Amino acid sequence: MELLEIQKLPTAENSAIHLHPSDNVAVARVPLAEGQTLRVEGNEFTVRANIPAGHKVALMRIEPGEYVYRYGQRIGRAKKPIEAGDHVHTHNLGFEEVELAYEFPDKEIPFPAPPKDMPTFLGYVREDGRVGTRNYIAVVAASNCAAHTSELIAESFLDEPLPSNIDGVMAFPHGEGCGMSIGPDSRQLQRTLAGVLAHPNVSAAIVLGLGCEVNQIDHYLGPNAPRSSRLVGMTLQGSGGTRGAKDAARREIRTLLEQCGAEKRTEVPASKILLGLNCGGSDSFSGITANPALGVASDMLAAIGASTVLAETTEIFGAEHLLVRRARNRDVAEKLLGFVKGYKKYLNQFGGSFDDNPSPGNKEGGLSNILEKSLGAVAKAGSSTLTDAIDYAERITVPGFNFMNTPGYDPVSLTGLAAGGCNVICFTTGRGSAIGFPTIPVIKIASNSNMYRRMTDNMDINAGAIADGERTVQQVGREIFDMILRVASGEKTKAEILGHKEFVPWRIGPVM
């Protein structure tokens, strides 16, 4: 199945995309046939093999050991002679970790002044000043032992009428919370669940445990707990088991619904947006269409004092020098590099490397290795100043473009962004990843038109129109920005309509 069905008639001049003057490869915009003539930057050559759309074609002879360049950056060395017109992919392109030169900022970069005309959206203002884009009751399991009961509680409200401004009762089951060491792993889980319980899209919550697990519910309760008047803790052991806990939780939720039902959306500045930036099932078009377009929207939000958050540490490897160059100060740059070094050490424990990241689908879509994937992935963050770098599930507090240390595994990455406080998430995909989150709207952006047409039930925006020659990156970026504000005001995304609610905390330690 082809990745892209071009609408504009392909010609020798427009059938391949040359991304940077120094690149010695171009990206096939349409499937290329052996013997086909291409003209790129005035050079004419013959395609030497059938090349799928999204894959690379050599523009010149590349000797063994010479670097291959895409986006003006090195993405590996030729493993054997490559001729102009050859297909360049894993069979003749080798991966190696490159030595990167870091350009650290020599002075503090100031935050931009707020605009005179601030765009707005309709949201739920919380007592801590943050703003929700949704209004949920959450039932959060403290451990795997309470996971099933949390689902039963939420499911029991599916057929009951709720106040019109309550989006639903949503369960957060997971497989963690016990059989784990007391230390960094348990603290990270506690930080993650606390972020879910006190999320601006959550009006009130129940935290439910078995009673004897490592992750005790007492950690989340007490007078100093966020939104303590709307947070209820209970255990199965203290409530009479599964049925008893379900009945007790239903009584508590009915009371909470009365309180939460009185809340209304009000007009708030768009600077209250906390946007998560994520990608999954990427293809070679992701770095040409969907990711740069999302980068435009990210820059627009950063310019008005909103927060945007790039995640997936495994998918900035090989491109981190580009982010260091944009850091607000030396400390932010060093924090970012610390996360990359820490993740490399983490992978080494298991004999892995960053290049294990590209999936079979990524490679089928034309991405040869992690360097090429990362260079396209960081485009989601546009060109704004990197204002902060934070660890997994830490609270997002700094306006502008932030980075969060997460895996590249989509449900785990989205969970970290959610726990950090993101109230909207934009998710780009070239292969059609179907994913969402229980309490946060996830906007899905397709990188190519063929996949968009095949999966219209899942996709909200088609950035493939950029490769089709029908729209510009700036135009699609504006479309994304406008949709973010509409979704923040209540418009449902395709992931919400389909009921996607993936929630997977990051387990980093051993199973005891």
Q: Count CA within 13 A, CB hemisphere, residue 417.
A: 37
pLDDT at 350 over 50: yes
Average pLDDT across the chain, whole number: 93
pLDDT at 479 over 90: yes
pLDDT at 32 over 80: yes
Confidence of residue 2 (pLDDT cuts 50, 70, 90): very low
Confidence of residue 1 (pLDDT cuts 50, 70, 90): very low
- CA separation (Å) from 158 to 151, 152, 252, 254, 468? 11, 10, 16, 13, 42
pLDDT at 3 over 50: no
pLDDT at 161 over 60: yes
pLDDT at 225: 72
pLDDT at 175 over 70: yes
pLDDT at 462 over 50: yes
Determine which helix (DSSP H) or strand (DSSP E) holds 427, and give its type and residue range: strand 424-429
**What is this structure's pTM?**
0.94
Q: How far apart are CA 363 and CA 231, in angstroms?
A: 46
Q: What is the pLDDT of residues 111-133, one digit of tens each?
A: 988 888 999 999 999 999 999 99
pLDDT at 490: 98
pLDDT at 227: 67
pLDDT at 234 over 80: yes
Query: Are the C-beta atoms of residues 143 and 507 closer than 8 Å to each other?
Result: no
- Give residue 324's identity as a one-letter amino acid code: V
Quickly list H helices, 73-136: none
Cα 175 vs. chain centroid, distance in angstroms? 22
pLDDT at 223: 74
For residue 151, the tally of other CB atoms under 10 A from its CB is 15
pLDDT at 222: 78
| The two structure tokens encoding residue 311 | 């995640």
Phi, psi of 155 (to 5 degrees): -65, -30
Query: Are the C-beta atoms of residues 388 and 252 closer than 8 Å to each other?
Result: no
The mean pLDDT value for 418-432 works out to 97
3-state secondary structure of 461: strand
Q: How far apart are CA 229 and CA 141, in angstroms?
A: 19
Can you say whether the dihedral through the CA atoms of 38, 44, 46, 51 is positive or negative? Answer: negative
Q: How far apart are CA 385 and CA 405, in angstroms?
A: 17
Query: Are the C-beta atoms of residues 399 and 417 closer than 8 Å to each other?
Result: no
Tokens 């989205």 belong to which residue? 414
Q: What's the start-to-end Cα distance of the chain, in Å?
A: 45
pLDDT at 228: 66
- Name every residue whose Cβ is closer than 8 Å to that of residue 208 and which is 6 or more positions away in sequence: 139, 140, 141, 142, 146, 149, 150, 153, 217, 233, 234, 235, 236, 245, 249
pLDDT at 8 over 80: no
Q: What is the pLDDT of residues 289-320, one digit of tens each?
A: 999 999 999 999 999 999 999 999 999 999 99
Percent of the chain with pLDDT over 90: 84
Q: What is the pLDDT of residues 239-279, one digit of tens each?
A: 999 999 999 999 999 999 988 989 999 999 999 999 999 99
Angle made by CA atoms 494, 486, 375, in degrees to the nearest 5: 70
For residue 159, the tally of other CB atoms under 10 A from its CB is 6
pLDDT at 4: 44
Query: Are the C-beta atoms of residues 393 and 191 closer than 8 Å to each other?
Result: yes
Question: What's 328's DSSP letter?
Answer: S
Q: How far apart are CA 462 and CA 319, in angstroms?
A: 26
Helix axes 290-303, 473-488, angle to 10 degrees: 60
The mean pLDDT value for 93-111 works out to 89
| The two structure tokens encoding residue 486 | 């509409």
The mean pLDDT value for 445-464 works out to 97
| The two structure tokens encoding residue 250 | 């239903």
The mean pLDDT value for 43-70 works out to 95
